């Protein structure tokens, strides 16, 4: 079995030491889905709290910048870019969050945190219309850079 990186020789939880690694350009993209009723989707442009997607964009960017404060063993890294895209469909909203850095460790957690918090923000902005809205399928789409190289999720069939 492969040794897990977040444990030290004594078996205690530990932050990975990346001090010997050279900084490299790294990117990541993550996805989340917000499933909602057609009537909620239709009401998005006239939401009384404001535009849920614009508020979610700001929340996602802010969350990416705060990832190391939320996930205990994440390194604080300098982000050079974070963006969020929203695609409204018949069943809800697909969120894609991307993040980039030049650092000693990857940016996957920042992208996934951005997608997750954006989804939660959309829920918060629309829950008055329907509390049964669901957040589903939060996952890494791709990552580049670092020792492990490129990862791209295979398309679901």
For the chain, the domain total comes to 1
138 by Cβ neighbours in 10 Å (0-12 / 13-18 / 19+) ranks as middle
Cβ proximity of 57 and 64 under 8 Å:
no
Model confidence at 2, in pLDDT bands (50, 70, 90)?
A: low
In a domain, 53, yes or no: yes
In a domain, 8, yes or no: no
Rounded to whole angstroms, the Cα distance separating 61 from 118 reads: 8
In a domain, 128, yes or no: yes
Please confirm, yes or no, whether 94 is among the known catalytic residues.
no
Q: What is the pTM of this model?
A: 0.91
Residues 44-97 have pLDDT tens digits of 999 888 899 999 999 999 999 999 999 998 999 999 999 999 999 999 999 999
Domain carrying residue 98: 24-144
Cβ proximity of 64 and 110 under 8 Å:
yes
Q: Of these residues, 12, 17, 51, 124, which one is catalytic? A: 124
In a domain, 139, yes or no: yes
Helical (H) or strand (E) element with 142: strand 134-144
Residues 113-146 have pLDDT tens digits of 999 999 999 999 999 999 999 999 999 999 999 8
């Amino acid at each position: 079995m492969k040794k897990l990186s977040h444990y030290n020789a004594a078996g205690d939880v530990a932050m990975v030491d990346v001090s010997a690694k050279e900084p490299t350009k790294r990117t990541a993209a993550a996805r989340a889905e917000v499933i909602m009723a057609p009537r909620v989707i239709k009401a998005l442009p006239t939401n009384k709290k404001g535009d849920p997607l614009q508020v979610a964009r700001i929340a996602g960017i802010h969350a990416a910048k705060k990832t190391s404060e939320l996930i205990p063993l994440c390194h604080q890294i300098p982000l050079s870019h974070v963006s969020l895209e929203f695609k409204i469909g018949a069943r809800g909203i697909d969120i894609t969050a991307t993040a980039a850095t030049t650092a000693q460790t990857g940016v996957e957690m920042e992208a996934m945190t951005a997608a997750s918090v954006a989804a939660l923000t959309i829920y918060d902005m629309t829950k008055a219309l329907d509390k049964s809205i669901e957040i589903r399928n939060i996952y890494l789409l791709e990552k580049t850079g670092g020792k492990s190289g490129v990862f791209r999720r295979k398309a679901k069939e």
